């Protein structure tokens, strides 16, 4: 007996977004004899060891026209498997933290037949597998054209090695997009952590090495870090671009400092630098294609506009991690709530001379307390492009502020003694102020995600 099902349409790319439909379809092989009425899909995910394991998620694929072709949209099922990785929070900068950015899946399909008694029979002995695919929480605009198919469902332009299996390879490196909408000249707070400043790219390796060229824009001097991202790594590569880590990579590869971004004491040697990544033939070293570079500014926490700065990290709409250093004013307010109740005192002459009353004892006590610490940020002047990008901060599902970790001794002074504090942005508080000369100011409020200042007894 021939196989009951075959794959009719694979996912529309090897790398896809969970924010748009991911449609897979199977076709009934008419001579199987089962009388198939729909197909059962089972979702498999790649684990940390590289094995694909059953998620336990099952769903049905149906036909809309009784033509023996059964379709399903798996985007909703895949979206929930992005996890928070411990290495990310602990600043293990040499780890990829893959599962925060993407996951790899495939779907196993089984035919479902109708028994004569009207019950359904999932025929698990019959199976067919889809191709594996990588998923990202990557939002796209309907005003974008992101593939040679001229659509905004495929994310081909974000996959940095030519074709993403859904059309022809595009001819120019300039068509590639990094996994961020961050404008150039965004500021890196040199003192507030190192592992969270990244240049994110989606990589599909095909015998390629990745080179990263780093240029000090104050002096024009540059150096290249070869194989900064591992050759065989597929998926999002959050390339760390904090100057200290870039220099450290150079030392590990060359045995000496470049002394172009920072000096031997760890002090920055420039205010602006540029990152450019390119893919080269692994065997010959020949340039194959590049991707758009980005320019960054370096600021020190002690002199960010002469005021105390607040560094925000947040999940951007392309699925990676961005940051914003707010150098304006920040005000704090505290809202207190709770309920008290009168406590019972056992008055009895026989208990003691004080009739059971203790001096200083509470006659009323707290049933519950609630304290909310709110912070209102009024930003420094930003451009219109920056203001549009920062809409992503306000609507982001994951936002943190970088805070110095009390009690940790770290003589390096390079930001490893910082920790991420989760916060919640008050969406209703977000306001934009624009002046006649196109200068913008942002105002918004955030609260701490964990109310650690609320005391309990």
Provide the 3-class DSSP secondary structure of residue 142: coil
148 within domain boundaries: no
C-alpha 134/C-alpha 146 separation (Å) is 17
- Work out the percent of the chain whose per-residue pLDDT is above 90: 44
Sorted by sequence, the CB contacts under 8 Å of residue 121 that are 6+ apart come out as 112, 113, 114, 115
Same-domain pairing of 232 and 318: no
Residue 107 is predicted with a pLDDT of 98
Task: Supply the range of the domain harboring residue 386.
Answer: 303-448
Same-domain pairing of 372 and 263: no
Same-domain pairing of 282 and 310: no
201 within domain boundaries: yes
Question: What value does the mean pLDDT take over residues 254-280?
Answer: 91
**Average pLDDT score, the chain:** 86
Residue 100 is predicted with a pLDDT of 92
Same-domain pairing of 133 and 163: no
Provide the 3-class DSSP secondary structure of residue 79: helix
Same-domain pairing of 277 and 325: no
Same-domain pairing of 307 and 443: yes
Question: What value does the mean pLDDT take over residues 303-324?
Answer: 84
432 within domain boundaries: yes
DSSP 93-127: TTS--GGGT-EEEEEEEEEEEE-TTS-EEE-TTS-
Query: Given a cut of 70, is residue 1 above it in pLDDT?
Result: no
241 within domain boundaries: yes
Same-domain pairing of 297 and 310: no
Minimum mean pLDDT range among 49-58, 121-130, 366-375, 432-441: 366-375
Same-domain pairing of 133 and 196: no
Same-domain pairing of 19 and 120: yes
Q: Are the beta carbons of 24 and 107 closer than 8 angstroms?
A: yes
- In the listed set 102, 137, 172, which residue is the last one of a domain according to the structure? 137
C-alpha 72/C-alpha 39 separation (Å) is 9
Residue 169 is predicted with a pLDDT of 73
Residue 333 is predicted with a pLDDT of 77
58 within domain boundaries: yes
Same-domain pairing of 298 and 395: no
Domain CATH number, residue 22: 2.60.40
104-120 confidence digits (pLDDT tens): 999 999 999 988 777 88
153 within domain boundaries: no
Same-domain pairing of 124 and 186: no
143 within domain boundaries: no
Overall domain count for the chain: 3
pLDDT band, very low/low/confident/very high, at 430 (cuts 50, 70, 90)? confident
Same-domain pairing of 319 and 265: no
C-alpha 225/C-alpha 388 separation (Å) is 33
270-294 confidence digits (pLDDT tens): 999 999 988 888 888 898 888 888 9
Are β-strands 186-189 and 294-299 bridged in parallel, bridged antiparallel, or unpaired?
Answer: parallel
Structure-token match 């021939």, residue found = 2
376-427 confidence digits (pLDDT tens): 888 888 888 998 999 999 999 999 999 888 776 555 555 678 889 999 998 8
- In the listed set 302, 329, 351, which residue is the last one of a domain according to the structure? 302
173 within domain boundaries: yes
Cα radius of gyration rounded to whole Å, the chain: 28
DSSP 151-184: -SS--GGGBTTS--SSSPPPS-GGG---S--PPT
C-alpha 236/C-alpha 103 separation (Å) is 10
């Amino acid at each position: 007996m021939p196989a009951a099902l075959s794959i009719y349409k694979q996912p529309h790319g090897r790398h896809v977004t969970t924010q748009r439909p991911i449609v897979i379809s199977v076709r009934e092989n008419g001579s199987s004899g089962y009388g198939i009425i729909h197909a059962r899909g089972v979702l498999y995910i790649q684990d940390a060891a590289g094995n694909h394991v059953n998620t336990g998620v099952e769903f049905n694929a149906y036909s809309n026209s009784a033509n023996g072709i059964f379709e399903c949209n798996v985007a909703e099922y895949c979206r929930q498997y992005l996890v928070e990785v411990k290495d990310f929070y602990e600043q293990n900068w040499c780890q990829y933290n893959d599962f925060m950015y993407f996951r790899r899946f495939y779907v196993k399909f089984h035919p479902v037949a109708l028994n004569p008694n009207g019950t359904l029979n999932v025929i698990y002995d019959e199976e067919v597998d889809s191709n594996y695919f990588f998923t990202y929480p990557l939002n796209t605009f309907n005003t974008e054209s992101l593939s040679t198919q001229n659509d905004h469902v495929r994310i081909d332009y974000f996959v940095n090695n030519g074709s993403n299996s859904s059309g022809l390879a595009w001819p120019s490196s300039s068509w590639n997009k990094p996994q961020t909408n961050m404008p150039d000249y965004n500021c890196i707070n040199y003192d507030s952590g190192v592992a969270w400043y990244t240049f994110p790219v989606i990589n599909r390796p095909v015998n390629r090495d990745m080179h990263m060229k780093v240029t000090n824009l104050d002096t024009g001097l540059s150096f290249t870090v070869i194989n900064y991202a591992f050759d065989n790594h597929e998926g999002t590569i959050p390339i760390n671009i904090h100057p200290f880590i870039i220099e450290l990579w150079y030392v590990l590869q060359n045995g000496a400092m470049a002394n172009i971004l920072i000096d031997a004491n760890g002090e920055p040697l420039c205010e602006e630098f540029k990152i450019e990544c390119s893919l080269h033939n692994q065997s010959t070293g020949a340039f194959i294609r590049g991707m758009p570079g980005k320019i960054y500014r370096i600021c020190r926490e002690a002199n960010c506009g002469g005021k105390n700065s607040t560094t925000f990290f947040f999940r951007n709409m392309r699925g990676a991690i961005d940051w914003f250093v707010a150098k304006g004013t920040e005000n704090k307010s505290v809202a207190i709530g709770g309920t008290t109740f009168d406590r019972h005192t056992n008055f009895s002459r026989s208990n003691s001379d004080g009739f059971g009353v203790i001096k200083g004892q509470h006659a009323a006590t707290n049933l519950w307390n609630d304290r909310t610490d709110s912070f209102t940020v009024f930003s420094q002047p930003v451009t219109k492009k920056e203001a549009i990008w920062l809409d992503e901060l306000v609507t982001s599902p994951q936002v943190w502020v970088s805070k110095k970790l009390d009690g940790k001794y770290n003589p390096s002074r390079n930001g490893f003694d910082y920790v991420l504090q989760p916060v919640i942005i008050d969406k209703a508080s977000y306001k934009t102020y624009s002046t006649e000369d196109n200068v913008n100011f942002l105002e918004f409020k955030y609260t701490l995600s964990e109310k650690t200042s609320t005391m309990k007894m």
